[in-house]
Every structure is written in structure tokens, then in C-alpha cells.
Amino acid sequence: MRPESLLVPTPAGLCCPVGGFHIDPLRPVARAVITHAHSDHARAGHGAVLATAETLDLMRLRYGEAFAGSVQAVPYGERLTIDGVTVSLHPAGHVLGSAQVRVEKDGLVIVASGDYKDVHDPTCAPFELVPCHVFISEATFGLPVFRHGDAAAEVEKLIRSTRLFPERAHLLGAYTLGKAQRLIALLRAAGWERPIHLHGAVETITSYYAGRMELGDLRPVRDAAKAEFAGAIVLCPPSALGDRWSRRFPDPIACFASGWMRIRARARQRGVELPLVVSDHCDWDGLTRVIPATGAEEIWLTHGAEEALVHWCGTKGLRAKPLHLVGYGDEEEVETIEAATAGTDQDGTAAVSDQNATAAGEPAGGPA
Ligand SMILES: [Zn+2]
């Protein structure tokens, strides 16, 4: 069997015609395998959904109980046969529950890795290297300029800033699923024992994480008096940094944790005073480390700077091509667009009701 017959890029996403399923479909389909719960990969309205238990839980939190016709939770490493195609899920190291999808038919193995990173993250299982013939890789940060460095050192910068400016609130913009909780865990690992305050839009997913790991003293912003925010760290969605909500805090410092913060112009453009380079995607070094290590002779690239990686693969003697799948991107960008269209009020309640609107059947927004 040729790889192009086993997994086929279609307008609805990557399709396995033999197995009759799609991976991270963009439109409602009969059978979906979902890599992780970020909204550009996990959408509501499919017939049957196969994913890790955590991904299914997170989808339920975002979209409501009726997000799919039926669901099947699959533990990492367990092999299933779907119409003669062997399918298994393996840790992607991206966010809690995130998985690479290994698809095998007649000895041919393709791994669709979804979003992934191969560096330490205390909030999810570490990335597993899965040998394969064809490796499908994201290319979100697929340019040599993107080097994320050490996330713990970035968090130290934030803690140093709270010591330098003990009167000022530090508003930490972070993507609400995965990034926010990873930052909390990194802050705790760095010895930050004070309460961490949460914007309304960060609460639900953080309490799900907190049920599975120790995240310390977490408090909703709305329950705290203004004086408590002096020198405090307040987690919020990136979109909240510049809006009315941020004005309640004493002389706030806008901090933003993202792989894009490597680009100084991007930080300035968003009014970020303290940029922190922390990403849940591989940087250039990670991508160029993982791709050859899979042993794949052929690399298919998607969402991001595909051309640079196609070229790099060529220099290493690897066949590579872009898949030209449209509709996936960096989840931070997706959320910024979602929030901009929904608006947020003072407690982030609009962001929560936006999630309810999605549960009522509206498709989740994708990147423009
Ligand atoms: Zn993602």
C-alpha cells in the first residue's frame, strides 16, 4: 500500500479511506480520531470520536456533554483495529491528553503527530518517539529563528520582576488550555508559593488539571481585594491583557508567555512589557531533532513554515512535502481571534458564555 492511499489530505482534514475515519477533522464526520483538545484540532459535532480519556474530558468541558454522537477513550499504546487498519495513540508532550496517532496497514506505518514538543512539561506525559515510515509533523515554529530556550529560566524572569516591582500586579497572558497550567506548575517548581489568581476564562480547565496534579493555591480574581494583587501573578487569556478587565489591577505589568515572544516586534505590537518565550510546540531544534529520529524516510509537513522544513529535510536526504491542510494553526492565534469576536467583560464571563454557545452547536472558531 502506498502512503498516499493510507492517509489522504481532504478539505475535511486528513482521511484514512480504508479505516473510514478522519484525524482532527475540520468538519463534522462519521468517525474522528482526535489528537488533542485545542479548538483547531478538536471540534464538536462528529458521529464517533476516539481519543484519550483526558482529551474527551476536555472536549466535554469546552463543548458540553453532547459534543459527539459517541466516544471511545483509548489509553496510550493500546492497539485497535478499525476496518483492517491498526490505530494507536502515543504521548505528544503538547498538553494533557495529547496524542500522536500511529496508523498501520500491511506493514506500512504513518504517524500523525498533531501538535507536539519534545521538552519537559510537568503537566503531561513526555513525547514518545514512534518509529515509522512516514512522519507527519507540524511546522508552527519551523524557522531557525525560533529557539524557545529553557521555560524554567523564563519563569524565573517573571519571579524576578515581582521582586523588582512588589507593588505591581503581573498579568500573565497564556493560552487557557495547557500553557496556563504548565506555567502554574513551573512557578510552583521554581518555589512560588503565593496564591496564583485566575481570570474567569482560565478557571474551568485549570480546576480539571488541579484534580490530576498539585498546582497549589489558586484563586479566582473576582474573590480577591485589590490590595492582594500587589506583586501578585494573575493568569489570563492573552486577549484580556489589553482590555477593560486589566484596569482593576494596581499598575499592571503585561506579561505574555508564547513561542511568538521570540519576535520582539510581536511583543511590542501587543503592548507586552515582559515577554516570556514559553511554547507547547517544538522549536526549530526540536523539529530537526525529532524528524530524523523517527527513522521515517518521508516527511509530510503541515500548519506553519512548511517550506523551510521541506528544504531542511532535502539537505538531510529525506523526502518531504507540505500537505497544504487549511484550518490548523497556533492555538494562541486561534484564541485571540475567538476572543476578539466574542469580547470579554470584567470577569471573563463572556468568554465562558462563548463556550456555552459552542456547546449549543456553533462550530469553534479557526484561524483566519
Ligand atoms: Zn495544540
Q: Which three cell numbers stand for residue 314?
A: 532535502
* C-alpha–C-alpha distance, residues 238 and 59, integer Å: 21
In a domain, 246, yes or no: yes
Q: How far is the CA of 283 from the centre of ligand 1 (A)?
A: 14
Q: How far is the CA of 179 from the centre of ligand 1 (A)?
A: 10
- 251 with 200, same domain: the answer is yes
Q: Are 250 and 230 in contact (CB under 8 A)?
A: yes
The model's pLDDT over 110-153, given as tens digits with 9 standing for 90+, comes to 999 999 999 999 999 999 999 999 999 999 999 999 999 999 99
pLDDT at 288: 97
- With a threshold of 0.85, does the pTM exceed it? yes
DSSP H helices, 197-305, are 200-210, 264-269, 284-293
Q: How far is the CA of 115 from the centre of ligand 1 (A)?
A: 5
Count of domains in the chain? Answer: 2
Q: How far is the CA of 332 from the centre of ligand 1 (A)?
A: 9
Write the CATH number for 86: 3.60.15.10
Q: Which residues contact 228 (CB under 8 A, 6 or more apart)?
A: 195, 197
Write the CATH number for 235: 3.40.50.12650
In a domain, 366, yes or no: no
Q: How far is the CA of 345 from the centre of ligand 1 (A)?
A: 26
Q: Are 44 and 34 in contact (CB under 8 A)?
A: no
Q: How far is the CA of 187 from the centre of ligand 1 (A)?
A: 22
pLDDT at 336: 52
- Half-sphere exposure (CA, 13 Å, Cβ side) for 46? 30
The model's pLDDT over 292-332, given as tens digits with 9 standing for 90+, comes to 999 999 999 998 889 999 999 999 999 999 998 877 876 76
Say which range, 208-222, 294-308, 332-346, has the weakest mean pLDDT.
332-346
- 251 with 188, same domain: the answer is yes
Residue 196: count of CB within 10 angstroms of its CB: 23
- 9 with 67, same domain: the answer is yes
- 167 with 50, same domain: the answer is no
Q: Which three cell numbers stand for residue 155?
A: 519563569
| Domain housing 21 | 3-145+281-329
Q: How far is the CA of 168 from the centre of ligand 1 (A)?
A: 32
- 195 with 315, same domain: the answer is no
Q: In which band, very low, low, confident or very high, does the pLDDT at 358 lie, cut at 50, 70 and 90?
A: very low
- 133 with 34, same domain: the answer is yes
- 10 with 137, same domain: the answer is yes
In a domain, 39, yes or no: yes
- 54 with 22, same domain: the answer is yes
Q: How far is the CA of 228 from the centre of ligand 1 (A)?
A: 33
